[in-house]
């Protein structure tokens, strides 16, 4: 299986799209696998060489015990890029993946051409919420949080109309190793990039969801206003806007990345 070792942890990845085209890295949300990007990998395949990966603690990547940090998750991406000989790439991350994208934009701007930050924030509190979630999965497993998460990730209308789209995401959540989920929850809990994001100078697009209770549209607006020159797009969706508004999401991202 295609794994690369980062700090003693095996990170699973897949490559698709068109050889010779610009590289695009897609980084998943907390509790999902790289398959959350299936709709984007298909739509963008002609224009990009696409690198998807399972974040540390998720899917087919290893899930070491203990707290992770956003820096560690960001350095996992740099290790992947180095191992694959990718000097520069475009980067699109959603939720936790967007937090990783911010870290890269702040700390490794020479590796990125363009940055897309979706349904995310530079600070996502309160810390007590994340500590409670860590305790819940430690004592009762992923089933303890899955139903509540799904309700935040998709609007009621979408859940009713597209169970075929919701069911695979629910399965991803349930299959996520509790230790990996908890480790990433700690990374989000302890993150505060609000001041640092003002230093990002890479062309950046921020996408929010008008019905996102996890990272509200106001958070997207605040993030976009903090990054000089950032563009903002608000879609009629909850948290996983790339799935709920797949066509609009793909058009928005493709137009920005190809500019």
Question: What 3-state DSSP class applies to 187?
Answer: helix
The pLDDT assigned to 199 comes to 98
Nearest to 155 by CA among 219, 237, 235: 237
DSSP 232-245: EEEES-SS-HHHHT
What percent of the chain is predicted at pLDDT more than 70? 100
In CATH terms, the fold of domain 3-257 is Rossmann fold (3.40.50)
What percent of the chain is predicted at pLDDT more than 90? 99
The pLDDT assigned to 259 comes to 86
- The stretch 173-177 carries a mean pLDDT of 98
Domain range annotation of the chain = 3-257
Bridge partners, 63 (sequence order): none
Q: What is the pLDDT of residues 32-52, one digit of tens each?
A: 999 999 999 999 999 999 999
> What is this structure's pTM?
0.98
The β-bridge relationship of strands 3-6 and 49-53 is unpaired
- The stretch 226-244 carries a mean pLDDT of 98
Residue in this structure with the two tokens 């890269």, named with its chain if needed:
104
Q: How far apart are CA 56 and CA 53, in angstroms?
A: 9
- The stretch 204-230 carries a mean pLDDT of 98
Nearest to 28 by CA among 173, 232, 174: 173
Residue in this structure with the two tokens 């206003």, named with its chain if needed:
225
At 1, is the pLDDT very low, low, confident or very high (cuts 50, 70, 90)? Answer: low
Under 8 Å between Cβ of 31 and 25: no
Phi first, then psi: give them for residue 92, nearest 5 degrees: -130, 120
Q: What is the pLDDT of residues 91-137, one digit of tens each?
A: 999 999 999 999 999 999 999 999 999 999 999 989 999 999 999 99
Residue 139 has pLDDT above 70, yes or no: yes
Nearest to 121 by CA among 70, 178, 87: 70
> Cα–chain-centroid distance for residue 184?
12
Q: How far apart are CA 39 and CA 94, in angstroms?
A: 14
């Amino acid at each position: 299986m295609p794994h690369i070792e980062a700090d003693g942890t095996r990170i699973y990845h897949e490559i698709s799209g068109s050889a010779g085209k610009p590289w695009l890295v897609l980084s998943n949300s907390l509790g999902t696998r790289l398959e959350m990007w299936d709709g984007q990998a298909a739509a963008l395949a002609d224009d990009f060489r696409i690198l998807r990966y399972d974040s540390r603690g998720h899917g087919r990547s290893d899930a070491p015990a203990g707290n992770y940090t956003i820096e560690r998750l960001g350095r996992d991406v740099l290790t992947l890029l180095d191992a694959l000989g990718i000097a520069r790439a475009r980067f699109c991350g959603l939720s936790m993946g967007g937090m990783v994208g911010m870290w890269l934009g702040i700390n490794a701007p020479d590796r990125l051409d363009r940055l897309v930050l979706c349904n995310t924030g530079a600070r996502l509190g309160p810390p007590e919420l994340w500590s409670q979630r860590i305790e819940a999965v430690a004592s009762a497993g992923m089933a303890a949080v899955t139903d509540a998460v799904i309700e935040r990730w998709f609007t009621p209308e979408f859940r009713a109309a597209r169970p075929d789209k919701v069911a695979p995401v629910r399965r991803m959540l349930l299959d996520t190793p509790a230790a990996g989920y908890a480790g990433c929850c700690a990374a989000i809990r302890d993150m505060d990039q609000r001041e640092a994001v003002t230093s990002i100078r890479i062309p950046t697009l921020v996408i929010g969801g008008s019905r996102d209770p996890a990272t509200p549209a106001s958070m997207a607006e605040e993030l976009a206003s903090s990054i000089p020159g950032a563009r903002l797009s608000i879609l009629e969706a909850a948290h996983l806007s790339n799935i709920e508004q797949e066509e609009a999401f793909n058009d928005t991202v493709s137009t920005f990345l190809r500019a």
